[in-house]
Structure formats: C-alpha cells, structure tokens
C-alpha cells in the first residue's frame, strides 16, 4: 500500500492548539501538508484567550521542517470563520482540507444549565463546524477538490449524563455531514466525521479516563489523516477511533411493520412493538429519500 502524504495540500484545523487538534496538525504537517493552526487559546469552558497555544504548535511544526500559520479567529461566528479561511488563502493560495475539531465543555444537567451555556456549546461545536465549512466551500468547489472532517462524540451518538448541550451539538454535526456529503459530491468534496476516544483536557477528569492509558490523541489522528487524504473517496462516514481501535458507526432502521389501513392506531403500535423494535434486519440509508422510499414501500413479505 502506498504511503499517504499531503504534499502541496493546505489544511485548516480548528482547535489545534492542543489535544486532538494538535495531534492532527503535527501528523499532517509531518506528511507534507501546510497547516493553519486555529485556536483561541481559551479555557476548557471557552473563557478567555491566549495566542500562544496556536503559536506553540506552529513552532513545533516549523522546528521539524514544516510550514504552518497560527490563527486565533473565533470560528463560532460566521465572520470569524471567514477570516480564518481568508487567512489561509491569503497565505497559501488554497484550502484543501478542513478539520472541524474546536470545542468546549459546559456540563450540567439540563434543568440546572443556564441557557447561555447551552447556546455557547452549540455555537462552538455545531455552528463553528457549519461556518468554517461554509467559508471553505467556494474554494473547494472551484478547485473541484476538498476534504472536510467533522468531529462528533459518543456523547452525541449515544448520550451521556450532564451533557445535553454537548450531545445535541455533536449529533447535529452528523446531520450537517449527512447533508454536505450530497452537496459536495459533484465537486469532489468528501465530508466525513470522526468520533474520537482520547485523553485530552476535555476528558482527563472523567471517571473512565484512568482506563484509557493507550488513548493518546495521536492514535485518533491516524484515522483523521486517512479521511483527509486524497486517496479517500469515502463520504458520509462516521469513524470511531481511539487507542488503536477503528470502527464505522451508522444510524440504522429496522425492517419495521406496516399496519393495514384500518389498523393505524396507538394500540397497533403497542401490540407490535417487539417487531417494530427488531433490528435483526436493520439497514442504513444514504439519504432521507431512501428512508422515505422504504417507509412507503409495500410491506415486505
């Protein structure tokens, strides 16, 4: 198998001043990419800012012989996301790869959470991913080439106590990918998502973190680098990655049950719940249209 490289490619990585984003930046740079390291340098809950976080990663890249640019724009706003992409184009002439990695945490149960804390987390994770993708899109469209990697989480895919804001944003990112994979197909833009498991400052205080001694950010970056590579023609994939483990994740729908016209009642649903919930013949769909076709198709024998 040929070595995956990024010579001549320009990668923009958000939240790259530490943790997963730093690992992505260092790996892509080591394999030839020019990297724009975006990071506000704020606290875990998104307060404050420090330009040194991005600058330190740039220094690591340049010390190893690579090329990189530090950027501290706030990607949670359309204007900040646009400035980030504009800076990349002004410095390097193009954007080939966008890794939407930036995120913050403000954990509490929903009833105890301030509305501002819910909105801020959604703004950084979900809207930040949307605004950066939107800003990079015309460039990738003109190039007829682009690789976008989103970042979801098990908290979004499966839920986690005290993370309603984070979980909602992270599953929203999957929905964003599922639409962009269609909108980018004819332009050579491939959009995929990573669901990382790694010990970073966002996870180091969680109870299970002590069990994940091998869950280094670098072991997630390998999967992200593949999704960001020219040879990866996949789109719309969710890759769970961590501690050397890789698996795809997919939303699926069971075979289902069609109720006769005269029996579409709550009682029918209750009486047939076991069959309705049976996932032994589950399948995934590539689009909402496919799912609707299955729902309205004649009952399978």
**Which residues are known catalytic residues?**
166
Can you tell me the distance from the alpha carbon of 61 to that of 94, in angstroms, rounded to the nearest whole number?
A: 19
Q: Which among 197, 163, 171 has a CA at the least distance from the CA of 19?
A: 197
Cβ pair 45, 108 in contact under 8 A? no
């Amino acid at each position: 198998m040929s070595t995956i490289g990024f010579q001549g490619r320009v990668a923009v990585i958000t939240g790259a001043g530490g943790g997963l984003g730093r690992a992505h930046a260092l790996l892509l740079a080591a394999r030839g990419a020019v990297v724009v390291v975006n990071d506000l340098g704020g606290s875990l809950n998104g307060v404050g800012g420090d330009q040194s976080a991005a600058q330190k990663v740039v220094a690591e890249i340049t010390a190893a012989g690579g090329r990189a640019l530090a950027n501290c724009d706030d990607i949670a706003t359309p204007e900040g996301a646009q400035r980030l992409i504009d800076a990349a184009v002004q410095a390097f002439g193009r954007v080939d790869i966008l890794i939407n990695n930036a995120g913050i945490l403000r954990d509490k149960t929903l009833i105890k959470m301030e509305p501002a804390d819910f909105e801020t987390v959604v703004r950084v994770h979900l809207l930040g991913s949307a605004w950066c993708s939107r800003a990079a899109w015309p460039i990738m469209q003109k190039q007829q080439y682009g690789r976008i990697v989103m970042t979801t989480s098990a908290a979004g895919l499966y839920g986690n106590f005290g993370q309603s804001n984070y979980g909602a944003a992270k599953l929203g990112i999957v929905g964003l990918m599922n639409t962009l994979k269609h909108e980018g197909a004819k332009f050579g833009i491939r959009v995929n998502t990573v669901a990382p498991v790694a010990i970073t400052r966002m996870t180091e205080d969680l109870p299970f973190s002590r069990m994940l001694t091998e869950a280094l950010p670098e072991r997630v970056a390998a999967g992200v680098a593949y999704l960001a590579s020219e040879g990866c023609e996949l789109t719309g994939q969710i890759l769970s990655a961590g501690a050397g483990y890789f698996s795809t994740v997919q939303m699926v729908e069971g075979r289902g049950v069609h109720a006769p016209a005269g029996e579409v009642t709550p009682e029918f649903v209750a009486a047939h719940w076991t069959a309705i919930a049976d996932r032994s013949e589950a399948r995934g769909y590539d689009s909402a249209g496919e799912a609707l076709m299955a729902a309205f198709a004649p009952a399978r024998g």
